[in-house]
Structure 1
Amino acid sequence: MKFFRQFFLAIKYFWLPIILTSATALTLTACNPANFKSAAAQVPQLVSSILSDPKTFNYPLSQESPNIFGLTYAGLTNQNPITGKIEPDLAQSWEISDDKLKIVFTMRDNLKWSDGEPLTVDDVLFSYNDIYLNKAIPTDVRDTLKIGEKGKLPTVRKVDNRRVEFTVPEPFAPFLSSATANAILPAHALQKSITTKDNEGKPQFLTKWGVDTPPDQLIVNGPYKLERYDTSQRIVFRRNPYYWRKDAQGNPQPYIERIVWQIVESTDTSLLQFRSGGLDNIGVSPEYFSLLKVQEKQGNFKIYNGGPNSSVTFIFFNLNKGKREGKPLVDPVKSGWFNTVEFRQAVAYAIDRQTMLNNTFRGLGLLQNSPLAVQSPYYISPKEGLKVYDYNPEKAKQLLKKAGFKYNEQGQLIDAQGNRVRFSLLTNAGNKIREAMGSQIKQDLSKIGMQVDFTPLAWNTYTDKISNTLEYDAGLIGFGAGLEPNDSANLWSPQGGSHLFNQKPQAGQKPIEGWEVAPWEAQIGELYIKGARELDDAKRKEIYAQTQQLSQEYLPFVHLVNAYSLSAVRNRFEGIRFSALGGAFWNIHEIKVID
């Protein structure tokens, strides 16, 4: 999904396949990592697993996780997930003007691409001016660069051979932390695809670097380059010999020569492979924790606990009132329910989140009440006035009756016109936690008379419904939430490419007639603009406090449980600095294999 770009913006050296999972048909024997290990040269390597194939190798067009870009690309800056500080990456330093409208970056000397070609200021200009700021390229990166009510974009110019200047139309607090983390792309490999048009007059770049591209044609600047991709089996990365980092002794980094991502069919399969020694690390879901904890010493691994995860999980209703070719996206009867705030609040009160935490999550998590990660300095807690929806089915029924709903003799909920309240809830199949959550939600809502048709779908089918056709009732999904609220601006802006609950058509999609924006919805979007403009941190927190309060009052998302960030890692790796925001391998360039 397009809204998972946040992961790359916030943490560029860690992949987060546990947030979104999908099933890919694969036999355990055919994809046993041990088979690959025995056949390959024994070099320092890390073997992990992901649950689905990548959808593209073209970074600006990527809308989904898992993807390869955290390993293959770097930006001007990087955010340390331990300290939260912005650190140099391809740029060695920067200067901000007194009026906060100009930022001049000085690039590192002698940077190179993975093919040995020089990486220069011209590549920065190309990446921004020709791709990210180019309206002919439908990239979600542009959402992170829009500034102010009119969504003005920065200008980028070359100062000299080492320096590049960004000018913003007004002060923009998150510019350094989010916008400059975007991948820098190779002009020498991609420029021609921007200027050359296809039969429809579109840049050939839109079909460049798909997953069928031979790995040696992909030019990158990150710690690793793609060496091999076997569909539905594995992705193999090899250390980029031209990567810029070196340790204090002048040794090239990263130290690990090869990274292998096995593509497996489910989390259960990953668990079997990890326990048999075929995988070096695995995300530990709650149902696996007790089993793995007692095997730490015997299995020569350690379970790291980073505290609450940096993602939020929620259900959402389709609030889109629009039509396509005269046909409503949502059944008008259901749309009336979903767009009634008391209906959404009743759903929130009717879900027993504490039982969900105790049973599905085995107590390994916290109740989530905000769209912001608890680690964010702008997060406000219930103690600071954030509204919460503790389990209260009686209150849920009262709210429904207040909104004109009633109960028939069978205890079924019906609306004022006598229509039984029944809707479908979708999620991605293969994620056992999500499937358990959906099953409980179905049961909980039945207690207040609602019939929920819970349907896990193949990942591609699911994402097509919630971001393309927009023909769905409700969904259950997760969203990455970093330290900087503006990284999620495209979720909250009514014009944003990830405005899930009331999505506008995206580039290339059929138009929508009658699309409406609710006053509270517009207000949240305006507050995000205001928050990005404000440079005083205390005032920014006040602004983002309002966004959280409005979100919890009007409930475009019903937040559920935030699991602890747990990962089991073999003890053969040195240099692990685990973080909920970055995971186990965010500092992959520093990590060594010690056996």
Structure 2
Amino acid sequence: MNLNNHRQFQALKVFMLSALLTMPCLYGCGADKVPTGTEGGASSNGTSTTTSSENSSISSTSSASSNAGNSKSPLAIVDPPNPGPYKIKLVDGEEMRVGRFPVGKFGGSLVRSIISADPKTFNYWAAEDTSSTLLASHLFGGLVTVDPWTGEVIPDMAESFKVDPDGVTYTTKLRKGLTWSDGKPITSADVAFTWNKLIAEGYGNSSIRDVVSVDGKMPTVTVVDDLTNKFVTPKTFAPFLRQLSTPIAPQHVIEPILKRKDGKAAFQHLWAADLDPKTLVTSGPYTLARFVPAQRVELQATKNFYMVNAEGKRLPYLERLMFLIVPDPNTNLLKFRGNELDLTPVRARDVSKLLTEQKSGNFKLNNLGPSIGTIFIMMNMNRRENSKTHKPYVNPIKSKWFNDTNFRQAINHAVNRQEIVDSYFKGIGATLFTAEPSASPYFNSKLKPFKNDPDYAMSLLQKSGFQKKADGFLYDKDGNKVEINMLAAAGSTLYEFIGNMMVTDMKKLGITINLSPLDFNVLNDKVNSGDWECCLEGLSPGDALEPNDGANVWKSTGRMHLFDQRQADDAGKITASDVRPWEKRLDQLFSEGAQTLDKAKRHQIYDEYQQIVYDEAPFIYLVTPSTIVAARNTLKNYTPTTLSQYTNGVHNVEEVWKAPE
């Protein structure tokens, strides 16, 4: 949420944005989608046509940019024409998906890069690091996928799917003739095994189970016939259809391993980084050819992938996908400029120089729109005592400030978001003010950006009894000087810039900000423990098109309810007894939204949630960068869309081909 977005969006759900400061990035594959002192990754909607101009590969503008706030990007947002739905063709007894793009030429390699870290495994279901998850997504397919133009769920390995009127029964039917890379048939038994054994029993990465379960309960999955499965969820759960994108595992390979005495440990090591590539059995367009640690990963096209071009020839076109492992973004840029890479995301600071190199470097810059990631300031609204120390988590004086809506909204109007966009992102980004990204079909378009208005901010503070005195400092109604300790992840030039800007902007109101950059792990521990006052933070959804992805952030008992995080008991359960009225309403809205199938009604529900967050300001949203991707002109059928930002536009890797220089 990815090398091929319809195989990846289910893998990673909401996680702390700044955690990526310490994670590897898969450049050309979308893991760079979040700003971490570098920038990248975006999603949005827009309209454009391509041009031959050296300084602009795209000509017209996009409404999504304005939805995200003010933006002065020199590149308009991509919006290629929708090629329409996939067609199915029977080829040698197999139901094949027919490509939607012009017929290309077979052969050649596409070269991308991985930043910083080697993949730890090629076992999708055991993968927990970003590099492994993203690479493995090229190797395995799921029952459904997401259309990169519409965001709608469409069949992938499934020939069809159906949701019964009861809202809890889902029937899927596999395509005829699907086979694993070793020639064994892919059947409904593989589907049932994946769900009932691997996921339900918690083999490998148990977070997959957390994503696909409903209120902690797994759906029942039964085999109807060789191609058909029936899923029954414990109750109506609207997002469940999207979870059917979870990759299917080869039962004939994995089940014997699980039956061993050391089954769980053996499964965890299955297809680890030291594997013999010949042992890897896949269903995706590629399989592993070679992995040279700290140097490169090579994927080889399979011969039995379930897709053909318009002439009936089996895809993919590209014989190999190459991923060079590079130490840092600067080295990555040098490799692209040295013609060692075919595709790479571009940091905002590098756009101006690359704009003038498009013709000589034989590439184009593509703007995939504002990122789905959010960067924000939050204040610790926890009003409780620490059960171990019997002292308040937050100084009671400051807790009153943080729990005052006027105080939070004053900060909202005092922050100069446009300055971040203009000075740090060089116009390659947008101001941010909503909980849902503008790319989401549930985005509340009635909400408008907050204006930078220090005078209005001061009037809000005065309503709550705050006064700026002759010494230039702000005091509350009890005479306490307003001074706040703000945490930020160390090592991020972006967070450093925003933090220093906050010091300046808040000084205009008389508020003293003490900025404390911390190692991410230390910062994360402090936030989780409740030992903090104010924090510069960020989140990124695994699925920007599904608001329920944020349930663990907005529900009062959510593990990521960061602004007022309740502690779990010894059994891991979180309870909330001091819920604010608007938090209670958010709890209700997210429960209703998850159980409502009608899209229009869901939109109303999620509009209200966004309005509440907008009004109450538990998060003070700041900015979002844009995803700019540089792609060689030799790449044909490369058609980036605003919903393919997690793949850096390579949503159709099976149909991309490479022309001679």
Structure 2 length-normalised TM: 0.74
Q: Which residue in 1 is equivalent to 2:343?
A: 281
Deviation at 1:325, TM superposition (A): 4.5
Q: 2:442 aligns with which of 378, 385, 390?
A: 378
On the 8 A contact 1:51/1:265 being kept in 2, the answer is: yes
Q: 2:250 aligns with which of 162, 186, 199?
A: 186
Q: Which residue in 1 is equivalent to 2:456?
A: 395
Q: Which residue in 2 is equivalent to 1:587?
A: 652
Q: Which residue in 1 is equivalent to 2:99?
A: none
Q: 1:174 aligns with which of 239, 242, 261?
A: 239
Q: Which residue in 2 is equivalent to 1:112?
A: 179
User: Which blocks of at least 5 consecutive residues in structure 2 are unaligned?
Assistant: 13-25, 39-106
Residue 440 of structure 2 aligns to a residue in which SS? coil
Q: Which residue in 2 is equivalent to 1:40?
A: none
On the 8 A contact 2:10/2:243 being kept in 1, the answer is: no
CA displacement, residues 265-319 of structure 1 (integer Å, 9 cap, x when unaligned): 4433322221121222221232222211111111000111233333333333444
Deviation at 1:559, TM superposition (A): 1.8
1:86 maps onto 2:153 in alignment: yes
Q: 2:354 aligns with which of 292, 306, 317?
A: 292
User: Bigger shift: 135-144 or 536-545?
Assistant: 135-144
For the structure 1 residues 268 and 475, does the alpha-carbon distance in structure 2 shift closer, same or farther, using more than 3 Å as the test?
Answer: same
Deviation at 1:377, TM superposition (A): 2.3
Deviation at 1:555, TM superposition (A): 2.0
Q: 2:429 aligns with which of 333, 354, 365?
A: 365
Q: Distance in 1 between matches of 2:463 and 2:219?
A: 48
Q: Distance in 1 between matches of 2:280 and 2:522?
A: 28
Q: Which residue in 2 is equivalent to 1:34?
A: none
1:447 maps onto 2:508 in alignment: yes
Deviation at 1:593, TM superposition (A): 1.2
On the 8 A contact 1:11/1:581 being kept in 2, the answer is: no
Q: 1:572 aligns with which of 630, 634, 644?
A: 634
Aligned-residue CA RMSD in angstroms?
3.9
Q: 1:479 aligns with which of 540, 557, 580?
A: 540
Q: Distance in 1 between matches of 2:641 and 2:173?
A: 29
Deviation at 1:544, TM superposition (A): 0.8
Structure 1 length-normalised TM: 0.81
Q: 2:420 aligns with which of 347, 356, 365?
A: 356
Q: Which residue in 2 is equivalent to 1:96?
A: 163
CA displacement, residues 188-214 of structure 1 (integer Å, 9 cap, x when unaligned): 44446766787xxx9547954696553
For the structure 1 residues 236 and 554, does the alpha-carbon distance in structure 2 shift closer, same or farther, using more than 3 Å as the test?
Answer: farther
Q: Distance in 2 between matches of 1:477 and 1:212?
A: 31
Q: Distance in 2 between matches of 1:175 and 1:137?
A: 21
Q: How does 1:211-360 map to 2 (within 5 A)?
A: 212-214=273-275, 216=277, 219-229=281-291, 233-320=295-382, 321=384, 323=386, 325-326=388-389, 330-333=393-396, 337-360=401-424
Q: Which residue in 1 is equivalent to 2:53?
A: none
Q: Distance in 1 between matches of 2:649 and 2:377?
A: 28
CA displacement, residues 25-48 of structure 1 (integer Å, 9 cap, x when unaligned): xxxxxxxxxxxxxxxxxx722222
On the 8 A contact 2:434/2:614 being kept in 1, the answer is: yes
Q: Which residue in 2 is equivalent to 1:160?
A: 225
- Give the partner amino acid of 1:155: T
Q: Distance in 2 between matches of 1:64 and 1:469?
A: 24
Deviation at 1:143, TM superposition (A): 4.3
Q: Which residue in 2 is equivalent to 1:32?
A: none
- Give the partner amino acid of 1:422: I
- Give the partner amino acid of 2:498: M
Q: Which residue in 1 is equivalent to 2:550?
A: 488
For the structure 1 residues 55 and 401, does the alpha-carbon distance in structure 2 shift closer, same or farther, using more than 3 Å as the test?
Answer: farther
Q: Which residue in 1 is equivalent to 2:32?
A: 18
Residue 628 of structure 2 aligns to a residue in which SS? strand
- Give the partner amino acid of 1:369: F
Residue 588 of structure 1 aligns to a residue in which SS? coil
Residue 248 of structure 1 aligns to a residue in which SS? coil
On the 8 A contact 2:151/2:545 being kept in 1, the answer is: yes
CA displacement, residues 474-511 of structure 1 (integer Å, 9 cap, x when unaligned): 13224136223223333333444544444566899988
User: Bigger shift: 152-161 or 209-218?
Assistant: 209-218
For the structure 1 residues 124 and 293, does the alpha-carbon distance in structure 2 shift closer, same or farther, using more than 3 Å as the test?
Answer: same
For the structure 1 residues 242 and 7, does the alpha-carbon distance in structure 2 shift closer, same or farther, using more than 3 Å as the test?
Answer: closer
Q: Distance in 1 between matches of 2:127 and 2:504?
A: 36
Q: Distance in 1 between matches of 2:324 and 2:577?
A: 42
Q: Distance in 2 between matches of 1:249 and 1:328?
A: 72
Deviation at 1:527, TM superposition (A): 0.9
Aligned length: 563
Q: How does 1:544-555 map to 2 (within 5 A)?
A: 544-555=606-617
For the structure 1 residues 476 and 215, does the alpha-carbon distance in structure 2 shift closer, same or farther, using more than 3 Å as the test?
Answer: farther
- Give the partner amino acid of 1:579: T
Residue 260 of structure 1 aligns to a residue in which SS? strand
CA displacement, residues 308-362 of structure 1 (integer Å, 9 cap, x when unaligned): 3333333334445574744879544555544443333222222111222222233
- Give the partner amino acid of 1:524: L
CA displacement, residues 140-198 of structure 1 (integer Å, 9 cap, x when unaligned): 33444354xx565432111111111111344433322x211122233344446766787
CA displacement, residues 114-152 of structure 1 (integer Å, 9 cap, x when unaligned): 4554432222222222243346877333444354xx565
For the structure 1 residues 418 and 128, does the alpha-carbon distance in structure 2 shift closer, same or farther, using more than 3 Å as the test?
Answer: same
Residue 423 of structure 1 aligns to a residue in which SS? strand
1:540 maps onto 2:602 in alignment: yes
Q: Distance in 1 between matches of 2:568 and 2:284?
A: 30
Q: How does 1:519-534 map to 2 (within 5 A)?
A: 519-534=581-596
Residue 181 of structure 1 aligns to a residue in which SS? coil
Identical-residue share of aligned pairs (%): 31
For the structure 1 residues 157 and 573, does the alpha-carbon distance in structure 2 shift closer, same or farther, using more than 3 Å as the test?
Answer: same
On the 8 A contact 1:50/1:263 being kept in 2, the answer is: yes
- Give the partner amino acid of 2:206: T
User: Bigger shift: 358-367 or 322-331?
Assistant: 322-331
User: Bigger shift: 441-450 or 318-327?
Assistant: 318-327
On the 8 A contact 2:36/2:494 being kept in 1, the answer is: no
User: Which blocks of at least 5 consecutive residues in structure 1 are unaligned?
Assistant: 25-42
For the structure 1 residues 238 and 222, does the alpha-carbon distance in structure 2 shift closer, same or farther, using more than 3 Å as the test?
Answer: same
Q: Which residue in 2 is equivalent to 1:27?
A: none
On the 8 A contact 2:557/2:574 being kept in 1, the answer is: no
